[in-house]
């Protein structure tokens, strides 16, 4: 009786904390949202909405141990709730616990009547669209299964599943759609169309490759690596095979292991730093990612960025040097270090790093301009002019004129060296080489 009274008395407080958490989350105040969700779940441990909200926000914030605990509590509170089961499955996919994810998806499927399960598993593909329209949860199940198969590298089974359930149509050219839309639609839509192309057209080497490069820029390095490897395998061109192999080596760390959890921690940490300005939280997650996958260089790049943003130039250099120790062929690391050393006016060292960067990736026109700048600063004018001309010609092929850079070179060639240093813009040009 007393307990019931206490719970009743707690309800308004829980409700207000829940609302506060939701409002803060919706407003982008994620740290505050997690704090409110914690208070709500602590004050009402038997409240499914409170427990589930805490689990969800903790997952979103990369607090995976906390998320696992509270998804577990939610399962205890409502073992047959489809939402709870699906969220458990989704979280398991995020941290790479694929068997657990599949078990949860199976449980979700078993919540449906057996004829529906039978039709879903064995029915002809022509009835699948109607089936999933009537039972929308089935779409989520099959999409999650496809994701798992793709992430495990079993592209053949993923394609079979996608065809069987009408996710892709056998006679449609998704690759053409992707070619037409890439760069003109949102990031989510780009992901969607490339994914369908990769699923529908096993021979479309270019599209599979682009999908991999898009994933690489977005930070999904594991699936990106699998897709680039697949595109490289499928392409009949020896030159493309060599390019694909080089991309895997200098852009994706070669065979250096990156766990799913480390990749996801990195992605979330990057968001916490860049989007939320949460230095402490981001730093902790980056370091956890480094601990889980010590040869994964991207977290090192962001630790360097955080150090530099905080005015610690030496720390920034040290983090990038540490990254090169774990992956000496990382094009991005050489490039970042070269640009940083250039800013610090350590020109000979900057030249070495940037020369390595453009050696690893010959079409790195932005890196070439950064190199040209440090060459100019050292009075190496002939090399400056050569690198700048090469970069300008490259950018021009992609419709970018860079008038300031061109003008500086023209004045230099006409009147000899000036007092300033040339501009070194770095516009993105080739998908897959732009972001970390």
Binding site for other proteins (CB under 8 A): 277, 305, 308-311, 404, 411, 414-420, 423
CB of 125 to other proteins, least distance (A): 50
Integer CA distances (angstroms), 115 to 39, 93, 118, 120, 144, in order = 44, 27, 5, 8, 21
Indicate the residue among 250 and 375 with the shorter CB distance to other proteins: 375
CB of 339 to other proteins, least distance (A): 12
Indicate the residue among 216 and 305 with the shorter CB distance to other proteins: 305
Give the C-alpha separation, 295 to 258, whole Å: 8
432 close to 217: Cβ distance less than 8 angstroms: yes
Indicate the residue among 183 and 311 with the shorter CB distance to other proteins: 311
DSSP code string of 271-298? HHHHTT--HHHHHHHHHHHHHH-TT--H
CB of 419 to other proteins, least distance (A): 3
Give the C-alpha separation, 56 to 155, whole Å: 29
Give the C-alpha separation, 332 to 320, whole Å: 10
272 close to 285: Cβ distance less than 8 angstroms: yes
CB of 308 to other proteins, least distance (A): 7
CB of 402 to other proteins, least distance (A): 12
The gap between the terminal CA atoms of the chain, to the nearest Å, is 57
Indicate the residue among 236 and 416 with the shorter CB distance to other proteins: 416
Indicate the residue among 362 and 418 with the shorter CB distance to other proteins: 418
Please enumerate in sequence order all residues whose Cβ is within 8 A of that of 229, keeping only pairs 6 or more positions apart, or say none: 212, 244, 248
CB of 343 to other proteins, least distance (A): 9
Query: What number of other Cβ atoms are within 10 A of residue 109's Cβ?
Result: 19
Indicate the residue among 170 and 311 with the shorter CB distance to other proteins: 311
**What DSSP character marks residue 208?**
H
> Which run of H or of E encompasses 169?
none
CB of 406 to other proteins, least distance (A): 14
The overall longest dimension of the chain from CA atoms, in Å, is: 93
Indicate the residue among 157 and 406 with the shorter CB distance to other proteins: 406
Tokens of 80: 């047959």
Indicate the residue among 72 and 310 with the shorter CB distance to other proteins: 310
CB of 219 to other proteins, least distance (A): 18
CB of 411 to other proteins, least distance (A): 5
Indicate the residue among 73 and 270 with the shorter CB distance to other proteins: 270
Indicate the residue among 87 and 339 with the shorter CB distance to other proteins: 339
Burial 389-403 (b: 16+ CB within 10 A, else e): ebbbebbeeeebebe
Indicate the residue among 81 and 312 with the shorter CB distance to other proteins: 312
Closest CA to 405 of 421, 416, 418: 421
193 close to 201: Cβ distance less than 8 angstroms: no
51 close to 45: Cβ distance less than 8 angstroms: yes
Give the C-alpha separation, 315 to 321, whole Å: 10
CB of 33 to other proteins, least distance (A): 16
DSSP code string of 121-154? HHS-GGGHHHHHHHSTHHHHHHHHHHHHHHHTT-
CB of 277 to other proteins, least distance (A): 5
Tokens of 44: 């009402």
Indicate the residue among 42 and 345 with the shorter CB distance to other proteins: 345
CB of 89 to other proteins, least distance (A): 35
DSSP code string of 33-54? HHHHHHHHHHH-TT-HHHHHHH
């Amino acid at each position: 009786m007393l307990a019931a009274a206490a719970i009743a008395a707690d309800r308004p407080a829980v409700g207000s904390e829940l609302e506060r958490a939701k409002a803060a989350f919706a407003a982008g105040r994620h740290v505050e949202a997690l704090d409110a969700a914690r208070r709500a779940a602590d004050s009402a441990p038997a409240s499914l909405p409170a427990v589930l909200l805490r689990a969800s926000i903790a997952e979103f914030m990369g607090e995976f141990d906390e998320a696992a605990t509270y998804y577990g509590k939610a399962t205890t509170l409502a073992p047959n709730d489809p939402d709870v089961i699906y969220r458990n499955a989704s979280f398991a996919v995020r941290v790479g616990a694929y068997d657990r994810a599949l078990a949860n998806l199976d449980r979700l499927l078993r919540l449906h009547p057996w004829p529906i399960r039978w039709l879903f598993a064995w029915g002809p593909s022509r009835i699948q669209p109607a089936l999933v329209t009537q039972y929308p949860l089935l779409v989520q199940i099959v999409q999650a299964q496809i994701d798992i198969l793709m992430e495990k590298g079993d592209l053949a089974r993923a394609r079979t599943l996608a065809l069987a359930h009408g996710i892709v149509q056998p006679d449609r050219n998704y690759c053409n759609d992707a070619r037409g839309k890439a760069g003109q639609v949102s990031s989510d839509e780009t992901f969607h169309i490339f994914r369908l192309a990769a699923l529908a057209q096993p021979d479309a080497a270019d599209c599979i490759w682009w999908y991999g490069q898009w994933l690489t820029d977005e930070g999904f390095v594991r699936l990106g690596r699998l897709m680039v490897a697949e595109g490289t395998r499928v392409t009949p061109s020896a030159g493309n095979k060599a390019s694909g192999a080089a991309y895997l080596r200098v852009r994706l760390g070669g065979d250096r292991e990156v766990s799913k959890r480390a990749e996801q921690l990195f992605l979330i940490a990057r968001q916490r730093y860049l989007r939320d300005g949460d230095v402490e939280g981001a730093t902790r997650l980056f370091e956890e990612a480094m601990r889980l996958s010590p040869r994964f260089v991207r977290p090192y790049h962001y630790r360097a960025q955080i150090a530099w943003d905080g005015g610690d130039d030496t720390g920034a250099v040290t983090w990038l040097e540490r990254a090169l120790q774990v992956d000496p062929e990382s094009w991005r690391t050489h490039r970042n270090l070269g640009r940083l050393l250039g800013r610090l006016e350590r020109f000979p060292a900057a030249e070495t790093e940037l020369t390595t960067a453009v050696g690893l990736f010959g079409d790195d026109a932005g890196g070439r301009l950064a190199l040209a700048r440090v060459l100019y600063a050292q009075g190496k004018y002939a090399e400056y002019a050569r690198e700048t001309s090469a970069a300008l010609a490259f950018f021009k092929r992609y419709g970018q004129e860079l008038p300031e850079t061109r003008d500086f070179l023209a004045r230099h060639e006409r009147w000899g060296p000036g007092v300033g240093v040339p501009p070194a813009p770095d516009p993105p040009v080739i998908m897959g080489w732009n972001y970390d």
